[in-house]
Amino acid sequence: MPYRVRENLFIGNISDAAEVLQKGSAEITHILSVLSSVSISFFSEWRSGLVIPTKEIKKVYVGGSDSRGVGSGSEDASGRDGGLKSSLSPEKLLYSLEYAGKDLKMVRMAVPLRDMESEDLLDYLDVCFDFIDQSRKEGPVLVHCFAGVSRSAAIITAYLMRTEHLSQEDALESLRQSCEFVCPNDGFLDQLKMFEEMGFKVDHASPIYKRFRLKVLGELYNRGEKIESSRFGADPGLSTEISSEVEVTSNVGNICTPAYRCKKCRRVVAVQENVVDHFPGEGETSFDWHKRKSGNPFIKSDETECSSIFVEPLRWMTAVKEGAMEGKLSCAHCEARLGYFNWSGIQCSCGSWITPAFQLHKSRVDISTV
């Protein structure tokens, strides 16, 4: 039986969902399936002989494109910020929506999520929240995954964090009051912590999110996947590319965007939006006292200023596009050496390890405004 978490909000496993879909339910009207496949055939693969009727409403992809069936609604959940800065590949399916179960009475949304630490949970949260919010207005919603322990629990924990402004720990504790064995995997717990630090939203402009996105790309690279250049940042040196992605932010309040230019030829090579900040001195050698010039080793001084900035991979970085593990970063216009990149990481002069790292030496670039 599903566990009741809040009014009109239940958590369960695949067997709870199968039962509700097969027999219909007086209690549940909406289902959010969080399984490795969005297809209803997942249920018949799990238990042979189980056939659940469905009628597609629509499928929505990360890049914002819809393929719609009959009777579709018109929400636009994926296009929030163009989907360009999401960590998910633009052609990936974000969710599917369908009528399902006995007499096609249920509304089922399915999101493709595996129970793996490296899985990007954050980028599915908004669409899940929208569905849960909308469903609860109409009737009880069951959020389920395979075991009802990790994925569904992570999504409900995030939902409670956002709606009740609870810390990750408090939200999980509160969920455990309803269902004691919930236990999101460690990767999901880390992401829920980021969600908390971003103020209960998935803010693609936040340094926290940018670091997360870079880490996701690094994991893809390490698994041997080719990183499509569509996932790289737009080249800020090309005004056509910059206008679509950066204009929106740079025009707010007429604040000019700081830009980094090649010292030799003045070509713009990065804008502030591309910079992935790190905490100076948080690396392994930050405990190395000899590196510090000030007297008291317990006072963190500003003297460990970083000699480089680190950016997201950008479309002018040809060596990166070609798939190299590491190499020089040269100016796209004059070929002057600007820095270095390494998918396994580079140590900044402040001691922090940045992984993966796309580094521009401050001595090779000038900062100005666009």
Residues at the site binding Zn ion, with contacts judged by CB under 5 A? 262, 264-265, 267, 280, 306, 331, 333-334, 336, 348, 350, 352
Least Cβ distance, residue 306 to Zn ion (angstroms): 3
Of these residues, 128, 145, 306, 331, which one is catalytic?
A: 145
Least Cβ distance, residue 346 to Zn ion (angstroms): 10
Least Cβ distance, residue 369 to Zn ion (angstroms): 18
Nearer to Zn ion, 209 or 316 (CB): 316
Nearer to Zn ion, 29 or 308 (CB): 308
Nearer to Zn ion, 47 or 337 (CB): 337
Coil vs helix vs strand at 257: coil
Least Cβ distance, residue 338 to Zn ion (angstroms): 8
Nearer to Zn ion, 2 or 283 (CB): 283
- Is 145 known to be catalytic? yes
- Residues annotated as catalytic are 145
